[in-house]
Structure 1
């Protein structure tokens, strides 16, 4: 079982913000691969699907970004999932808008949702897909920036990046992190 976690904040207030590109990527995956209606489990919305031949669980934590670890830790423990089978999809304001970056593991890079997941699961070894939403404009607070919506000029590029991210997850699920890194980084 592959666990695919999209990070974001629940509620209409946060819809279409930079911080919610992880949720948006999962929404696209759900449209493409799932026939099951999402249900509440692990303090999340979850939906089972098959991505190619891989049985997968899409997970939208409903605990807010900075508390995502609790939801992810519950799912990992329930499925006894090795961390290499868990993909975290999140925003990254240090990457230029539209850029994708896969990593097999490592630090949070300042992304608070990822930081909470690392703390909760006790390891930095979960693969992650970062979607670039940056850079933060000069004299802007990073938190205000990521909680803001894309400008009209940025919206098309942001949506294209979310689409590429969803496309890339199918490759990750079926072929692994190395192939996803080689093709999408």
Structure 2
């Protein structure tokens, strides 16, 4: 069993926020691999299916972003999963928009959803870091992640989400390096202009 969780905030008011790109990734995986409709389970919306023959639980915690670990920890405990069996997709302000990186373990780097997950299952889970860019100033970060993606950003967001889903067999196989390479091959990100990043574009 592989647990794939996305970080985000529940409710339509947050649905298109940058902070909810983890939810968006899980939704696209569910669509691409024909998972059944999600149901309430593990303090979240959960759906079981398969990716390339591997049994997978998709989970969107409904505890709000900063408490995501409660749902992830409950599901991991129920299925007796190790951290290596858990993948968490989340927004990453330290990556340029459209960039994607896989990472195992490490610190939370100020991400309270990752911090919450670490408190429940330890730090050594797998992380799908979806680049959303930095607004340029620390005091602008909160507003940046809780604002919606601009229409112009859909030109990289939609291909990235599709790539995350299309390349999922590598993720299911535990081949994270190959998965990262395939996602970026399918959705190559433009080189970021630091001047635009500084203006929050």
TM-score bin, normalised by smaller chain: over 0.9
Change (3 A) 1:141 1:134: same
CA contact (8 A) 2:25 2:161 kept: yes
Tell me, which stretches of 5 or more residues in structure 1 are unaligned? none
Change (3 A) 1:140 1:160: farther
Change (3 A) 1:136 1:32: same
Tell me, which stretches of 5 or more residues in structure 2 are unaligned? 185-201
TM-score (norm 1): 0.93
How far, CA to CA, are the matches of 2:42 and 2:94 in structure 1? 30
How does 1:1-185 map onto structure 2 within 5 Å? 1-121=1-121, 123-138=122-137, 141-184=140-183
Q: How far 1:181 moved relative to its partner?
A: 4.0
Deviations 1:78-109 (A, max 9, x none): 00011111100000011100000101221122
**Number of residue equivalences:** 184
Q: How far 1:73 moved relative to its partner?
A: 0.5
With 148-157 and 4-13 compared, the bigger mean Cα shift is at: 148-157
TM-score (norm 2): 0.86
Larger radius of gyration: 2
Change (3 A) 1:169 1:115: farther
Change (3 A) 1:86 1:112: same
Moved runs in structure 1, 4+ residues, more than 6 A? none
Structure 1 SS opposite 2:40: strand
